[in-house]
Amino acid sequence: MRAVSLVAASNVLALAGVASACGSAIVTVEASHGGAGNGLTNTTVTVPIGTVFTGDKALDTVSTLYLTGSLEAPLDSITCSPYKSTDGTGSGGLPFNSTTPSFLSTNTVEVGSIVCIKHA
């Protein structure tokens, strides 16, 4: 299982060199402070396509992830996935796209990284 995760992460990292040519995904990070939709805050982050995105403070408190826009790529060609680890491993929730968000928790959880890919 670990070998599969490492292979997936290395494939994502191999795409990093072409990320600028692929564009970026605009992801809205929603956090529910107080549980079940109370005290909602939204933060927008720009995730380069084909890279392991980490380090943004918004990933520390996440309830739901939405793909809300894109730069230099058709919005309907992008799928993003949250991961528990900062190296793009350990599923942190279901993949999300422009029509289907990723509901992670009614409270907040920490997301280690997000990886967005562009489909042909």
Domain at 91, CATH number: 2.60.20
Domain count, the chain: 1
Question: Does the predicted TM-score (pTM) go above 0.85?
Answer: no
The predicted pLDDT at position 21 comes to 59
The predicted pLDDT at position 8 comes to 47
Sign of the C-alpha dihedral computed for residues 10, 21, 119 and 60 taken in this order? positive
Domain span at 63? 2-118
Mean pLDDT of the chain: 86
The predicted pLDDT at position 39 comes to 82
% residues pLDDT > 70 (the chain): 80
Place of tokens 């489909």: 119
Does the pLDDT at position 12 exceed 50?
Answer: no
Q: What digits encode the pLDDT tens for the residues 15-43?
A: 444 444 589 999 999 999 876 667 899 99
